């Protein structure tokens, strides 16, 4: 057998017994690479005489072609094997149901809280927080509601067992967010201030518009030159942004809270057309919050001089505002953890309405 035939037999054998693309590539490089055995043969043609060159050139070239063809064939075979292997080991069950869409939704209360915070932040208010289990002192006394005060009965208070008689010891679930006014103002640099206080509050009450736990947002602005017109402007700006209506019309109705003097309940103009609530128009009024100028006794309780400082405070129900804005009929449904309800009234976390994206 000639030398070339031997080389050919050897390489073709290697090709046919190779098992992987890597192995095949190595065979190709050994034969046809720069320093490959076949390449060397082809190079040697240059030093041959013409007669010999004619014979050898066609011999070497057909060897090269044969190797290339065989490698190509083997490559296809290996690919086929890889695919067959995949087909036999991997499989798809097309009869299975599709994956459930598990995206969560933002609860309307979280959404509305964020919207309110955003609006008041733009107006220069910062957020303050306080404990949910409060003392008589912070929840009532410091807010000018001493034990014998009749208003104390209106708060439907949940009491927490406490063995001490000291009014500064925690013993109630806070009935409103107003105690955080005190906690803020009594701090060293508590005033002047502009704060809002979102948070949970508790009252023993349960029907379509009352739940034992609900969410309030308190507002407090104290400075040396604040009067009732600032309160009015702030609340109008808030309503304009929150309800997204230009023609806000608010009515300040004289009222009574022990911690403000004068006090006003605030109503927003609205109409009911075919059972649909429209804000900013019509002849009806809907109560949305309580407010007033902070009572001097409250400032005194925080060691803030009422001769120098005064300001306004307001308190609104976050849940109630959410019901109004998004047409949610029953307050209790907020806290029932019904996923179908959340799916309907909740907000897409990636596509939330906000005053900045105009949704």
Residues contributing to the site for ligand PHE (CB under 6 A) = 176, 178, 218, 257, 260, 290-292, 313-315
**Cα 311 from Cα 308, distance rounded (Å):** 10
Cβ 56 vs Cβ 40: under 8 Å: no
Nearest to 23 by CA among 60, 77, 64, 61: 77
Distance in Å, CB of 235 to ligand PHE, minimum: 11
Distance in Å, CB of 143 to ligand PHE, minimum: 8
Distance in Å, CB of 218 to ligand PHE, minimum: 6
Of 262 and 353, nearer to ligand PHE (C-beta) is 262
Distance in Å, CB of 144 to ligand PHE, minimum: 11
Q: Where are the alpha helices (DSSP H) in 222-346?
A: 228-243, 296-301, 318-326, 339-345
Of 140 and 257, nearer to ligand PHE (C-beta) is 257
Q: Is 237 helix (H, G, I), strand (E, B) or coil?
A: helix
Structure tokens at 206: 């349960």
Only one residue has tokens 């976390």, namely: 349
Of 130 and 292, nearer to ligand PHE (C-beta) is 292
**Cα 31 from Cα 23, distance rounded (Å):** 13
Distance in Å, CB of 179 to ligand PHE, minimum: 9
Distance in Å, CB of 265 to ligand PHE, minimum: 8
- Beta-strand ranges (E) seen in the chain are 126-127, 133-135, 170-173, 193-202, 213-223, 250-257, 260-273, 276-279, 284-294, 310-317
Of 18 and 310, nearer to ligand PHE (C-beta) is 310
Of 8 and 319, nearer to ligand PHE (C-beta) is 319
Of 108 and 292, nearer to ligand PHE (C-beta) is 292
Count of alpha carbons within 13 angstroms of residue 85, beta-carbon side: 6
Cα dihedral: 56, 57, 59, 64 (round 10): 140
Crossing angle of helices 21-32 and 50-89, in 10° steps, is 170
Which residue has the CB atom at the shortest distance from ligand PHE? 315
Cβ 250 vs Cβ 264: under 8 Å: no
**Cα 318 from Cα 302, distance rounded (Å):** 27
Distance in Å, CB of 245 to ligand PHE, minimum: 24
Of 211 and 291, nearer to ligand PHE (C-beta) is 291
Distance in Å, CB of 320 to ligand PHE, minimum: 11
Q: Is 248 helix (H, G, I), strand (E, B) or coil?
A: coil
Distance in Å, CB of 357 to ligand PHE, minimum: 31
Q: Which helix (H) or strand (E) holds 185?
A: helix 179-185
The strand pairing partners of 254, in sequence order, are: 264
Distance of CA 143 to the CA centre of its chain: 35
Of 171 and 216, nearer to ligand PHE (C-beta) is 216
Of 67 and 191, nearer to ligand PHE (C-beta) is 191
């Amino acid at each position: 057998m000639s030398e070339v035939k031997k080389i050919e037999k050897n390489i073709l054998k290697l090709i046919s017994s190779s098992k992987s693309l890597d192995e095949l590539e190595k065979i190709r490089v050994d034969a046809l690479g720069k320093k490959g055995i076949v390449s060397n043969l082809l190079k040697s043609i240059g030093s041959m005489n013409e007669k010999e060159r004619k014979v050898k050139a066609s011999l070497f070239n057909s060897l090269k072609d044969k190797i290339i063809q065989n490698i190509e064939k083997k490559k296809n075979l290996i690919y086929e094997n890889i695919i067959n292997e995949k087909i036999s080991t991997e499989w798809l069950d097309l009869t299975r149901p599709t994956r459930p869409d598990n995206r969560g939704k933002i609860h309307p209360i979280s959404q509305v809280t964020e919207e309110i915070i955003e609006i008041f932040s733009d107006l220069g208010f910062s957020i303050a927080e306080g404990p949910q289990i409060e003392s008589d002192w912070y929840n009532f006394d410091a807010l000018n509601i001493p034990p014998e005060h009749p208003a104390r009965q209106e708060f439907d208070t949940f009491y927490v067992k406490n063995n001490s008689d000291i009014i500064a010891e925690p013993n109630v679930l806070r009935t409103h967010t107003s105690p955080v006014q005190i906690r803020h103002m009594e701090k060293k640099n508590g005033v002047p201030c502009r704060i809002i206080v979102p948070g949970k509050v508790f009252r023993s009450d349960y029907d379509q518009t009352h739940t034992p736990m609900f969410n309030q947002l308190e507002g407090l602005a104290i400075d040396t030159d604040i009067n009732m017109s600032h309160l009015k402007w702030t609340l109008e700006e808030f309503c304009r942004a929150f309800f997204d209506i230009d023609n806000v019309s608010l009515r300040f109705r004289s009222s009574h809270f022990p911690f403000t003097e004068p006090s006003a309940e605030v109503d927003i103009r609205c109409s009911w057309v075919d059972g649909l609530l429209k804000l900013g128009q019509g002849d009806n009024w809907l109560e949305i919050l309580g407010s007033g100028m902070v009572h001097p006794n409250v400032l005194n309780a925080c060691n803030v001089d009422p001769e120098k400082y005064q300001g306004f405070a307001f308190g609104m129900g976050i849940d109630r505002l959410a019901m109004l804005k998004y047409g949610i009929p029953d307050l209790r449904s907020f806290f029932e953890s019904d996923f179908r309800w959340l799916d309907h009234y909740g907000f897409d976390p990636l596509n939330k309405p906000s005053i900045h994206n105009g949704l």
